[in-house]
Amino acid sequence: MKEKIVLAYSGGLDTSVIIPWLKENYDAEVIAVCGDVGQGKETDGLEEKALRTGASKLYIEDLTEEFITEAIYPCIKANAVYEGKYLLGTSMARPIIAKKLVEIAKKEGATAICHGATGKGNDQVRFELTIKALAPELKIIAPWRLDTWGMESREDEMAYLEARGIPFPAKKDDSYSRDRNIWHLSHEGLELEDPANEPNYEHLLQMGVSPENAPDVPEYVTVDFEAGVPVSVNGEKLGPVALLTKLNEIGGKNGIGIIDICENRVVGMKSRGVYETPGGAILYYAHRELEYLCLDKKTLAYNEVASNKLTELVYSGEWFTPLREALCAYFDHTNATVTGSVKMKLYKGNIISAGATSPYSLYNESIASFTTGEMYNHKDADGFINLFGLSMKVRAMMLQNNENK
C-alpha cells in the first residue's frame, strides 16, 4: 500500500505543482485538503483541479465559523495587534487550518503533511508548530526548502506542469500576492516591495474603497457585545459569519481598516504589505471603547502587557501552547463584564466614537461630574496628594540641602 501524504491545498500554482512532484518523489498517494476560512470564490472548481493534477481526493472543509469563534474572538478580547497595526488575519487562520490537516491525516492514516509555504515566510512556522503540537509523529514536507524541489520561479513551475501534460491556465504574473479570509485580505509584491512607494490603492483594494472614494457623508454603526463577544449590529442579532460579513460591507464602503506596514517576520526579515480589515477594525475599536468603560485602571493597564505577549505568540504560530491557552483564559475572565453597546461614526477611513453604554459601566457621574457629588469630597485630595508626592518632596529637600553646603 502506498504512503499517504496530506497536502494543504489552495489550487494555486505552487500546490498544483506539488501534487505531481510528491507522487514522483515519494511514490505516494496525495490527499488534498482545503481549509475554507471565508476566502469566497477561491474554492470554486477546486475538486476538478486537484484531481486533474493527480490528487486521489480533495477535502474542502468549511472552517469559517470555527475560525471566528475559536481564533478571532479570543484575539478581539485581547485587543491583539501586531506592531501597532496588523490585526493578525493570516496569523489567526493558519493554526485552524493546520489543525484540520492533522485531523484528516489521522483519519486517512497518512504519514506526512505537506505545505507549499516558502522558506522566507511566516506560514511555514505556523503550519509546522501546529502539526508538531498536535501530531508529533507525523512527518512534515516543505518542498520549497528541499534541494530536490528544483524550481525557483513561476516559469519553472509552469514548465514542470507542461512537461507532464498537466493543463494549468497560464496568466501573466502581474498581480499581488494575496491571502484572503473572512477577516482580512493581505497584499504583497509589485510596488509594495519598495517601502518608498505609495500603494496603488486604486489597483489593489478589493474589500472596500480608499478613504478618498468613500461617501462624503458619515455612516453610524452600533455594535453590541456580550462578555467581549460581538452579538449584534445596529440592533440586529447575527451569527458570527453574518455579523462579520455585515461589518466588512459597512466598513469597506467607508474606507475603514486599510493599513500599510513594514513588519518584522518570524524568520527575521522585514516585509512590506497592505492589509484590508474593514469589519475587524470596527470590532477592535468598539471592543476597546467598551473596555474603557467597564474595566478598572489596573486591569486595563495589565491587559496591555498580556495583550503584547499573546500577540507575539499568535503571530509566531505558537497557538497550541500552554501559555497561549492561559492568556486566553485570563482575557475570558477580564471580558466577563465587557458587555454593552458602542456607537461609532464612520467617515472616510476614520472610526469616531459616538457613545457607549453598559450595565457594567464603572463611570459614576456623582464622582466624575464637575458638580460636587455625595461620593467625592474635594478635601480628601489634600491628604492623598501629600502622601502620593511624599517621596518626591523628600528627594527635593535632599537636593536643596546638598546645594546649600
CA–CA separation, 296 vs 16, rounded Å? 53
State pLDDT tens for residues 85-122. Answer: 999 999 999 999 999 999 999 999 999 999 999 999 99
Are 41 and 180 in contact by the 8 Å Cβ rule? The answer is: no
Domain boundaries, the chain: 4-163, 177-295+338-357, 374-403
Binding site as annotated, residues: 8-16, 86, 91, 116, 118, 122-123, 126, 177, 186, 263, 275
CATH number listed for the domain at residues 177-295+338-357 = 3.90.1260.10
Which residues are known catalytic residues?
14, 94, 123, 177
Q: Please report the pLDDT score of residue 14 as a whole number.
A: 94
Residues 205-237: pLDDT tens digits?
Answer: 999 999 999 999 999 999 999 999 999 999 999
For the annotated binding site for ATP, the residues are 8-16, 116
Pick the CATH number of 4-163 from 3.60.140.10, 3.10.450.750, 3.40.50.300, 3.40.50.620: 3.40.50.620
Pairwise CA distance, residues 323 & 313, whole Å: 9
Cβ-based neighbour number of residue 40 at 10 Å: 11
pTM: 0.94
8 A C-beta contact, residue 127 and residue 115: yes
Please report the sign of the dihedral spanned by the C-alpha atoms of residue 376, residue 381, residue 387, residue 388. Answer: positive
Classify strands 185-188 and 270-276 as parallel, antiparallel or unpaired.
Answer: antiparallel
Note the pLDDT of residue 371.
Answer: 65
Q: CA 120 to CA 177: how far, in whole Å?
A: 14
List of the chain residues with pLDDT < 50:
none
Binding residues for L-aspartate are: 118, 122-123
C-alpha cell at 193: 516591495
Which residue ranges are tagged as binding site for L-citrulline?
Answer: 86, 91, 122, 126, 177, 186, 263, 275
DSSP string for 259-304: EEEEEE-TTS-EEEEEEE-HHHHHHHHHHHHHHHHHS-HHHHHHHH
Query: Looking at residue 198, what DSSP letter applies?
Result: P
Within this chain, domains 4-163 and 177-295+338-357 share the same CATH topology: no
Residue 367's pLDDT is 76
- For residues 75 and 88, the answer to whether their CB atoms sit within 8 Å is yes
Per the prediction, the chain carries an average pLDDT of 95
pLDDT of residue 1: 82
